[in-house]
Homo-oligomer: A and B are copies of this chain.
Amino acid sequence: MNPAPPLDNVRIILSHTSHPGNIGAAARAMKTMGLSQLYLVNPKSFPDSEADARASNARDVLEAAHVCTSLEEAIGDTFLAAALTARSRDLPHPTCNARQAATELVRHAHHHPVALLFGRESAGLTSEEISHCQLTVQIPTNPAYSSLNLAAAVQIMAYELRMVLEEAIAAGEADLHLPEPASLHEIEGLHSHLERVMIQSGFLDPTQPRRLMRRMRRLFARTRLEKEEVNILRGLLTAVDPKKSG
C-alpha cells in the first residue's frame, strides 16, 4: 500500500543550491519517502553529472524537476508554503518543528499543492524568501553543531511527511484521509468528564485533584487527540460511570 497521492501534492523547492551533488541526494531522499515534485530556483549547475550520480535510481525525479528563475514561479500556485530555517528570526511567522510542519503540510496536501522551501547551503533562506511563506520550520539539532547537510534536511522532512501517512495507515485509516483533530473545547469537555468519573469512582480525591489531573492533561496534550478519539473516550467514560447504574 503506497500512500502516494497526498505526497504528490508536496513540492520540495531548493533555492540557489550551490552543489549539484546535493540536488541529486535530495532527489534520492525524496523518492525513498515517496515524494516526486522537485522545484529548483536558480540552481548553480543543473543538470549536472554529479547530481545524476548522487541521485542513484531517483534520476526520474531529477528529470522531472522544474527549474525556475524566481521563487514566485515555484511557489505561486501553492496553498501553504513552509520555510526551513536553522535560526530563530524576528519574523511574524509561526515556527513549528519538523513533525508539526509535516502534519500541517499533509493536511493541506490532501486537497491542494503545498511547498517546503530550502535555502542555500551556506546561508539558508533570505528574509525576503521567508516572507513568501506562511510557516517557518526548524529541525531540532545539536545546539553545538546544527550544520545539517541540505539533502539530510530534505531527508528528515520527507521522512516526517511519510510518517504522517504511515501512522494513519497503521491506525487503519486506509482511505488516507487524515482524521479531524479535536477542538480545545472538546478536549476540555473530555477532561471535565474524566475528572467527574474519577471522583465518582473513588479514584480521585476531590480535595486533592491537582496532580493527577495535570498528569492526564499532559498525557493527552502529547497525543493531540482527534475528534473521534474524544468521542470514543467520552463514550467509554459514560459506559463506566458508576452514577449511571446508581
Contact = CB atoms under 8 A, between A and B. Distances in A.
Contacts of A224: 222
Contacts of A156: 155-156, 159
A185 to B, nearest CB: 19
Contacts of A242: 240, 245
Nearest to A97: B166
Contact of A152 (B32, B57, B167, B223): B32
Q: Chain A interface secondary structure, helix, strand, loop or mixed? A: helix
Contact of A32 (B33, B142, B235): B142
A228 B142 CA distance: 29
A31 to B, nearest CB: 5
Contacts of A146: 32
Interface residues of A, number: 67
B215 A232 contact: yes
A218 interface: yes
B239 A229 contact: no
Given A215-B171, A229-B219, A145 B2 contact: no
A223 B197 CA distance: 22
Interface stretch (A87-95, A112-120, A126-134, A198-206): A198-206
A6 B172 CA distance: 34
A109 interface: no
Interface string A214-246: 111011111111001100100110011110010
